[in-house]
Structure 1
Amino acid sequence: MFLTREDGMILGPVCWVLGKIFNWIYMFVGFIGNHMGITYVNLSVCVILFTFVLRGALFPLYFKQQRSTKIMSFIQPEIAKATKKYKGKTDQDSMMKQQQETQKIQKKYGVSMASGCLTSLIQLPIFYGLYRVIQNIPAYVPSMTKKYSEIVDILSTKTDYIKAISDVAGESKVSTVTMALKQMGDDPTRNQIIDVLDKFAKSDWDKLISNLDLAGNATLTSYVDQFHNMNQFLFGLNIADAPGWKLSIALVVPIVSALLQFLQTKISMKSSQNNNMDSNQQTANNMMKGMMYYMPIMSLIFCITLPIAIGLYWIVGSVIMIISQLIVDAYYNHQDKDELLAKCAEKAAKKQAKKKNPDKKSFYERMMDAQNGNVPTENSQSENINKMASSRLKSYVNPAHSVNVDSDDVTRRENVNYKPGSIGAKANIMLKYQNNSNDKGGNK
């Protein structure tokens, strides 16, 4: 049920918080509108302000990501110089050492290739929560819930109102109405009915009112006019509707969103480019080039299939990101690089000094070590076993030197088949080695 709020352990609280923020913005816009003589709240204005609030809350993370990307481009010459000796070497040991050199320099300046991961991960639940809130505005805005409840009470005075709603919804040209209708069923709850009504276009309302002969109900017609005005955007678009795979003016939203995504990625890639890139940075740069085309395509598909309000959020968000990226680039391009890097190194050193375990590797470093094979292997495990076996052999009594020990028993112990690599096998090898030495008069 759309009107039923998201109750997942992670997304539930996210939607609840975003719903509260949207409701505060809704009340703020309504308050301003009342002083301007506007009797309804335009939801497209709420979505735009909502975007500014969310982007503003996440700006410290975005700024840190963009700053880290810029610093990474500044230290590429130093990384290239340190890893030059590994150029062209593809063996695992060389790749591992090259990665360690890169990580050492990155840690020196307090930056990481994974600096943008946190921002991307945070955006996923926010994007889904935004979709749920916009798709179910009456569930998160109490004043709208109250109005829709009054409408259902008015409609319920007609015995066949559920059938009438289903018939109109089935003939609707609005894609989200069809989606909500599938959730309604034959015996719908009040929430399910509101879900369908909330997606109705003006023409759907007119048809429903006519079929139920409720044209004379002033409260109903007043609310319908309000809902129609609330969802209006440029060119008469309804922000609750999805453009769909049909030729219409609504396709302007996903097209603009895709173009801005392309521009945002291109500017970001240009900001991080450097002529002295190591192999890892070149790989990341190639991935960025792929994203420059992949992300706009994904944006286009999502904005075509999701409500126009989602596309509006993406457009405003991209504009904010582009402006912030240009500001960051302009600021750091006019800074003295050597002085800036010296400050970064000093700050990173202080941060490392405060750590209880300075040598402890970050998640990104452990991930790269695993990728390059720098993890405990069978060989390293065998070395540990050797050390343990050697320590035990210090107190191991050689049967050849034992009192009253039968020589056949010693031979029998030497010839026991131990599991390869086990402590017993290693002890047996050492035993034979010592016996041979003793047979030769102690000359090893």
Structure 2
Amino acid sequence: MDIILTQYSGAILGPIAKLLGWVMNGIYIVLDKIGIQDIGLTIIILTMIIYLCMLPLTIKQQKFSKLSQKMQPELQAIQKKYKNKTDAVSRQKMGEETQEVYNKYGVSPSGTCLQLFITFPILLALYRVIINVPAYVNGVKGVFSNLVNAIYTTDGFDKILTDYVDAGKINNLTSKMVDFSAKDTTAVKNNIVDVLYKMPSDGWNFLQDKFGSLTDLIQTTHDQVEPMVTFLGLNIADSPLSTIKSSFASHSWLMLIGALLIPIISYVTQVINIKMMPQPQQTQTGDSSTDAMAAQMKTMNIIMPLFSFVMCFTVPVGLGIYWISAAVFRAVQQFFINKHMEKIDLNDIIAKNQEKMKKKREKLGISEEDMKKAAKIKTKNISYEASSKEKEEKLKEADEKKKHVKADSMAAKANLVREFNEGKRQEK
């Protein structure tokens, strides 16, 4: 009977996971035809394909970064011009002049956000695929079929597997996530596959102890599964932290070192990757929001490698492999992009960007003249409101000054004359 595992069904990540799983399955089939059954290598090739597909977007982002550096002197001049001016007119004019600079270079202020919005969901979706590879890769799923059917027909299998999961022996799996009492036979067998796929190395010895009549089948299945889920001696479904614990207990020092290298290499490759990326100029602009953004970017460059270091201890080794291979591939990619960017004529890019923005506005039915008129009208309205407020403030200020005038002073006498004249006018 074919085992059809339940794939992740999230509204956003579900379709992405299915697409990644479909590509991953295709890669595995090609490797299998040449005699290679290795999920770790499949993940590395999948990573290369993902970043090759994202190459045009990466180059676009790099162009934006380069244009941003060229724009900085002009943006800083505007910020300096309106420094400490908090009135509505000044803030409006500052925004308009800043937008004019972006229009001049043909870029959008949100130009660096798109890649993050794409790469982060891919990382989350890939996590779903890696922790449940048999649900997406048919070649892996089929290896478990005979053993799953045999375990399912063994009395008391549900209690044996539930107790094993409850003991915390399997990373990223709890008894709440598996239900061996379900009436749906396919669902129960899917749960058995989940347990077998995530089974640590010593777990197969546990199976042989508990299912003595299936010893030969368990050994045969383990011999087939091990090269698939093992990369450089590490189980890709297990976490480095759990591998370190079990290796320390069994004195498997090479395995322990290998598990430690996953987060360490992840940290190092992330740092190298950031160093090779074009960095924004670290200058004090005088604008608190801009300076805060630059400081935040600098902090993120420190935190992100540390984040990957910590996370790689607890996530499956397979995700750590993706993280490392992605950083290495990005570093190689960045080397050639940097060479390419050195030869690019920025004036040519600016002209093309301006033309693109003009065409977009024309499609929306917005002309340059319409934008200028709208800006003038808005500025006039704000100027009128601001002038009215200024008059009110001046009148209040004059009233306050009158309160503090001495009774016998010339100013007090002048006020009395003015009030007398105003009274006479009102009588008429």
**Other-structure match for 1:183:** 177
**Other-structure match for 2:352:** 347
**Other-structure match for 1:122:** 118
The amino acid of 1:110's aligned partner reads: G
Q: 1:89 to 1:32 in 2, by over 3 A?
A: farther
Contact 2:143 2:225 in 1 (8 A): no
**Other-structure match for 2:55:** 59
Give me the identity figure in percent.
33
**Other-structure match for 1:212:** 211
Out of 229, 232, 252, the residue aligned to residue 230 of structure 2 is 232
Tell me the distance in 2 between the aligned counterparts of 1:261 and 1:361: 47
Superposed CA deviations along residues 260-293 of structure 1, whole A, max 9, x for unmatched, are 223323433x543266967465433211111012
Matches within 5 A, 1:140-159: 140-159=136-155
Tell me the distance in 2 between the aligned counterparts of 1:334 and 1:351: 22
Contact 1:73 1:274 in 2 (8 A): no
Give the Å deviation of 1:325: 2.7
The amino acid of 1:224's aligned partner reads: H
2:156 counterpart of 1:160: yes
Superposed CA deviations along residues 107-161 of structure 1, whole A, max 9, x for unmatched, are 2212233112111111232112101111111111123223323221111232122
Contact 1:254 1:303 in 2 (8 A): yes
Give the Å deviation of 1:230: 1.1
2:20 counterpart of 1:23: no
Matches within 5 A, 1:309-324: 309-324=318-333
Tell me the distance in 2 between the aligned counterparts of 1:360 and 1:260: 50
Out of 238, 241, 244, the residue aligned to residue 241 of structure 1 is 238
Give the Å deviation of 1:186: 5.3
The amino acid of 2:212's aligned partner reads: D
Contact 1:76 1:274 in 2 (8 A): no
Q: 1:68 to 1:276 in 2, by over 3 A?
A: farther
Matches within 5 A, 1:364-403: none
**Other-structure match for 1:265:** 274
Give the Å deviation of 1:206: 2.1
Tell me the distance in 2 between the aligned counterparts of 1:273 and 1:321: 22
Contact 2:267 2:309 in 1 (8 A): yes
Give the Å deviation of 1:162: 2.1
Contact 1:253 1:311 in 2 (8 A): yes
TM-score (norm 1): 0.71
Matches within 5 A, 1:410-425: none
Matches within 5 A, 1:25-104: 25-33=27-35, 41-87=37-83, 89=85, 93-104=89-100
Tell me the distance in 2 between the aligned counterparts of 1:211 and 1:42: 29
Give the Å deviation of 1:208: 0.6
Tell me the distance in 1 between the aligned counterparts of 2:208 and 2:322: 33
Tell me the distance in 2 between the aligned counterparts of 1:288 and 1:170: 43
**Other-structure match for 1:409:** none
Tell me the distance in 2 between the aligned counterparts of 1:209 and 1:20: 33
Give the Å deviation of 1:97: 2.9
**Other-structure match for 2:219:** 221
Tell me the distance in 1 between the aligned counterparts of 2:86 and 2:181: 66
Contact 2:262 2:320 in 1 (8 A): yes
Q: 1:57 to 1:174 in 2, by over 3 A?
A: same
Tell me the distance in 1 between the aligned counterparts of 2:370 and 2:54: 26
The amino acid of 2:93's aligned partner reads: K
Contact 1:172 1:204 in 2 (8 A): no
Tell me the distance in 2 between the aligned counterparts of 1:286 and 1:94: 25
Give the Å deviation of 1:213: 1.1
Superposed CA deviations along residues 147-196 of structure 1, whole A, max 9, x for unmatched, are 323221111232122223234444564423xx243312451522122111
